[in-house]
Homo-oligomer: A and B are copies of this chain.
């Protein structure tokens, strides 16, 4: 689970070689530590004329503890963030405002700094010229993400009309070190929006919430349990009995309850409902993290490899969702979070079964988001790219190195990067965030 190349590249000899040979240069990413400022420098805030978000965004930045500038000072500091409200742009010609704001200052973004562009969802932007300009923002952000160096990221956040006051949890996440490995993503707020109450304490946004995390005995699942517990949730950690020892260890570390259960068993959904109801009176956050791989090309794949992957990674999740909802165990204000994958988006050799299941998770988000909205429940998914785990450590060297370096960060992410993204979805304050699939991939080149 160590990236020896990255370690080497920060040594004296390593630095020289990286520069001389034009090798990938993976800057150590700034990650969240309680008590540290959210940004590595002041935030510069701007807007195209007619924007509707500037005031709220400025207030959020200040509330989060950031220094906010509205004019570039002479000399130009290293900016912790460049934030631009593009909602006022209503034509292709108007996109010039993007250039005017970013061109003079883009060079001054600090390491692990943040670029955030805010827009109106094209599908609700009204006249074609406005819809087209808003859609065009995506090309800008994805290019800027590739141009930024030293761990800086760029994101596009579409805020639906009338949801200006519901972007705080999202902006706090993106404008912090918690989103270290999230890059060049397009996030929609308000499409299936519900209530988004502010927490009493932004350092414990999940206080009083009960969370279920499947596949929690190690890797990404363990990191999710840990971060949700850090944020104040009571966590139920689920894994198969064969993982029992690891599961209990992690559960003890995070002060949660271990539940050994084969989630694909016919009576598992019922048993789960019973457990959650008896122990905690229900559940607020469900993270479908359990997943397996059984890789073979389609010609060589066995039927059991197909069946087991589809069962664990997709089919049983629908049964659990339905049981939790029908029994009332999943409470109003609930948060369901799936784990998709880059392979579910782009496909992969040897993973027809896995890619089917992970594309299905995206389908799950699409299908349930409008239905859940009526009940004040959100559903979203993370799609990890190359994350440093025991699973990826077992990948052959050349393929592993390709996966690690073929992204804007030139490095793999950590399980905590996925976990922080899950925690953002899980927050009560993220009630207007539903129907999103957000990649945690450092802007991997791999797409679809």
- The answer to whether A349 and B147 touch across the interface, beta carbons within 8 angstroms, is yes
Asked whether A146 and B301 contact (CB < 8 A) given A122-B366, A136-B356, A355-B139, the answer is: no
Q: Mark each residue of chain A from 88 to 117: 1 if its CB lies under 8 Å from any CB of chain B, else 0.
A: 000111011011101100110000000000
A127-155 vs B, CB cutoff 8 Å, 1 = contact: the mask equals 01101111111111111111100000000
- Does the CB pair A352–B318 fall under 8 Å? no
CA distance A350 to B135 in the complex (A): 19
Instruction: Report whether B367 and A140 are in contact in the complex, using a CB–CB cutoff of 8 Å.
Output: no
- The reply to whether the CB of A303 lies closer than 8 angstroms to some CB of chain B is yes
A425 in the interface, Cβ–Cβ < 8 Å? no
Q: Please, which residues of chain B bring their CB within 8 A of the CB of A352? A: 99, 139-140, 143-144, 147
What are the residues of chain B within 8 A of A147 when measuring CB–CB? 297-298, 349-350, 352
CA of A138 to CA of B366 in the docked complex: distance in angstroms? Answer: 14
Tell me, rounded to whole Å, the shortest Cβ–Cβ distance linking A280 to chain B: 26
A214 to B295, CA, bound (A): 47
Q: Which residues of B contact A253 (CB under 8 A)?
A: none
Q: A348 near B: Cβ within 8 Å?
A: yes
Give Cα distance in the complex from A106 to B103, angstroms: 51
Q: How far in angstroms is the closest Cβ of chain B from A135?
A: 3
The distance in angstroms between the C-alpha atoms of A354 and B143, with both chains bound, is 9
Are B92 and A310 in contact, CB atoms less than 8 angstroms apart?
yes
CA distance A146 to B348 in the complex (A): 6
**Contact, CB under 8 Å: A310 / B358:** no
B103 adjacent to A298 (CB under 8 Å):
yes
Residues from chain B with Cβ under 8 Å of A179 in the complex? none
A344 on the B face (CB < 8 A):
yes
Asked if A374 is at the interface of the complex by the 8 Å CB criterion, the answer is no
* Majority-rule SS of A interface residues: helix
Nearest chain B CB to A403's CB is how many angstroms away?
12
Nearest-CB residue, chain B, relative to A306: B99
Which one of A10-18, A54-62, A411-419, A440-448 is at the interface? Answer: A440-448
- Asked if B139 and A310 make an inter-chain contact with CB atoms under 8 angstroms apart, the answer reads no
The answer, yes or no, to whether A390 is at the interface (CB within 8 Å) is no
Tell me the smallest distance from the CB of A363 to a CB of chain B, in Å. 3
Q: A132-B360, A139-B359, A306-B99 are in contact. Are A315 and B346 (CB under 8 A)?
A: no
Of A133, A142, A354, the most chain B CB neighbours within 10 A belong to: A142
A19: interface (CB < 8 Å): no
The answer to whether A394 has its CB under 8 Å from any CB of chain B is no
Of listed A102, A138, A311, A362, residue having the most chain B CB within 10 A? A138
Q: List 18 interface pairs A-B (beta carbons < 8 Å), by A numbering.
A: A92-B314, A93-B310, A96-B307, A99-B352, A106-B299, A123-B366, A131-B367, A135-B366, A136-B359, A139-B347, A140-B347, A142-B346, A142-B347, A143-B352, A143-B355, A146-B349, A147-B349, A445-B446
